[in-house]
Structure 1
Amino acid sequence: MIKTIIIDDEDHCTARVLNLIEQHPNTFDVLATCNTVDLALKVVPVMQPDLVFLDIQIHDKTGFNFLQEIDKVSFKVIFTTAFDNYAIKAFKYSAIDYLLKPIDKDDFDGAINRLKEDLNSKNIESQIQSLFKNLKPNTKKVITIPSLTGFETLKVDDIIHLEADTSYTHIYTSNNKLMVSKPIKYYEDLLDENIFFKTHKSHLINLDHVKQYYKGKQSYVVMSNDSQVPISVRKKDEFLKRFD
């Protein structure tokens, strides 16, 4: 059973989460519901949940205030929010799950399936720290990458290029190569399209790391790590416009 606490200041939103939880019998043990940050700060350290459903806006405080006040975040967090705003990108970069209100059953079920796969991971503290970095305006973003042993955090600026490998993606930096169990489309949607460009169905590059361009029947670029990345015929004109 997943020991669970719900933190939300709207009764109907709490009721919705409870209703969805009931549709997963023998999965959750709901320890408490809290409608203020102050109450949550008293309840959570004592009850030590495995999972917290955490609203972003809670009266005059936020779920982020709650996390900053907790001495050690040892539980999984699924954020719930009515706003598809700047925070959503920060959640994705930090590999933290979220649900948009009104919460859809399929979205909820998907989040719970991902949670079950990752429930024993001990890296939530580093994910939360990445989240706080990514929430700060005008700061260099970091991205949390799942690995066999947990998570690795990369500066987005350090990513040179990404290469598809069926449903996996290879991520190349200047001194490392990671294989991630997510398709390249996930990163294409996640990363800033003004900086990252898909040169080919299997390749996504960081334009800031392009060192040389070679034209020809099969044009390609040489990246800052000296790797060669092909540019498809249909992508060539769009690529060259980026350097006009």
Structure 2
Amino acid sequence: MRAIIVDDEKHSRDALQSMLAKYCPHVTVQALCCNGEEALQAIHQLTPEIVFLDVEMPVLDGFQVLEACRQPQFAVIFITAYDQYALQAIHHSALDYLLKPIDAQELQSAVDKAGRLPVTETARMVNKLLSFLAQEDRKALPTAQGLKIIAARNIIYCKAVGNHTRIFLQPPETQVTIKARMPELIGWLRDRGFMQVHTDFVVNLSLMEKYIKGDGGAIVMCNGDSVPLSRDRKQDFLLRVEHL
């Protein structure tokens, strides 16, 4: 079987390649990819039969790689550290996964299952996974602990913090820091009732309480937090609010 390994950690890629050579000699590793973009290129060029796909990766995570593939013509085995949110989504789809550190017997079992699974069944499972993530506009976002699945409707506002984004949520949760820059979230949120009101802030317009006039002004959100409004975004903001 032709395979590619996708993992942002070199030692994990090398370890899996060694285990495949030892325990699954019928699997030929065509490429080792360190991120989602490399994975998409390798999938397109090499047409693998099986993809070992790390879930937690920067820029494009494993779920986003599958979303970009649309109708995958290969078997998928996820690789992940224990992460309740990622595993919840994977379990729902019935796709296979391996927990780090990888167990040799579980690896053999997963590869054997992948070899027997029709491509059409894999595509069905992937669609089920993506549909699950799309429910209530949910998205798997990278945190320091793994992936956090968040529904857009539960986000009050987002604040840029260096290379990360802090997301303020409705109770019972309060906030979570995402390992992604604000621009990576704006495309997802813009069509869901959110607006960037400041270089460092994006707000959920449906969860604002009031607007306080000023040079730019301030927006008070439902949790009582005050978010600054840039002067150059004030007119667009007021027009959006009029049509809520």
Q: TM-score, normalised by structure 2?
A: 0.52
Relative to its length, the structure with more helix (as a share) is: 2
SS at match of 2:120: coil
What is the CA-CA distance between 1:137 and the residue it aligns to? 5.6
1:81 aligns with 2:74: no
Question: In the alignment, is the contact (CA less than 8 A) between 1:87 and 1:135 conserved in 2?
Answer: no
Tell me, in whole angstroms, the C-alpha distance in 1 between the residues paired with 2:99 and 2:6: 15
In 2: Cα distance, 1:122 partner to 1:114 partner: 14
Q: Which amino acid aligns with 1:45?
A: H
Shift of 1:13: 0.6
Deviations 1:51-102 (A, max 9, x none): 0000011223301111111243111100001133122122222120001111
Q: Which has the higher contact order (CA 8 A, sep 6+)?
A: 2
1:183-234 residue CA offsets vs partner (Å, 9 max, x unmatched): xxxxxxxxxxxxxxxxxxxxxxxxxxxxxxxxxxxxxxxxxxxxxxxxxxxx
In the alignment, which residue of structure 1 is the partner of 2:126?
Answer: 128
Matched residue count? 137
TM-score by length of 1: 0.52
Superposed CA offset, 1:151-207 (max 9, x none) = xxxxxxxxxxxxxxxxxxxxxxxxxxxxxxxxxxxxxxxxxxxxxxxxxxxxxxxxx
Identity %: 31
The equivalent of 2:19 in structure 1 is: 20
1:179 match: none
Considering only aligned residues, what root-mean-square deviation do their CA atoms show, in Å? 1.9
The alignment partner of 2:23 has SS state of coil
Show CA shifts across 1:134-155 (max 9, x none): 234658xxxxxxxxxxxxxxxx
What do the CA deviations read for 1:99-123 (whole angstroms, capped 9, x no partner)? 11111112212212222332x4422
Is residue 66 of structure 2 the alignment partner of residue 67 of structure 1? yes
Structure 2 counterpart of 1:96: 95
**What is the one-letter code of the residue matched to 2:36?**
V
Question: What SS is found at the alignment partner of 1:78?
Answer: strand
CA distance in 2, matches of 1:43, 1:70: 12
CA distance in 1, matches of 2:59, 2:123: 25
Query: In the alignment, residue 3 of structure 1 is paired with which amino acid?
Result: R
In structure 1, C-alpha distance between the alignment counterparts of 2:109 and 2:65, rounded to whole Å: 25
Separation of aligned partners in 1, 2:60 and 2:96:
20
Find the aligned partners of 1:78 and 1:13 in 2 and give their Cα distance: 14
The within-5 A match list for 1:155-194 is none
Matched, 1:114 2:108: no
Aligned 8 A contact 2:79 2:100 in 1: yes
CA apart distance, 1:12? 0.8
Q: Deviations over 1:10-67 (max 9, x none)?
A: 0111012111101235411111111011111212111100000000112233011111
Structure 2 counterpart of 1:190: none
Residue 44 of structure 1: aligned partner: 43
The whole-number CA distance in structure 2 between the counterparts of 1:11 and 1:93 is: 29
* Contact 2:4–2:48 (Cα < 8 Å) also in 1: yes
> Which amino acid in the other structure matches residue 126 of structure 2?
I
Equivalent residue number for residue 55 of structure 2: 56
Asked if the contact 2:23/2:104 (under 8 Å) is kept, the reply is no
Q: 1-side partners of 2:24 and 2:85: how far apart?
A: 34
Instruction: Say if 1:79 and 1:97, in contact at 8 Å, map to a contact too.
Output: yes
Gaps of 5+ in 2: 138-244
Partners of 1:90 and 1:102 lie apart in 2 by 20
Q: Which letter maps to 1:81?
A: T
Say which SS state the counterpart of residue 58 (structure 1) adopts.
Answer: coil
Give the Cα separation in 1 of the matches to 2:25 and 2:85: 35
User: Which amino acid letter does the alignment assign opposite residue 116 of structure 1?
Assistant: G
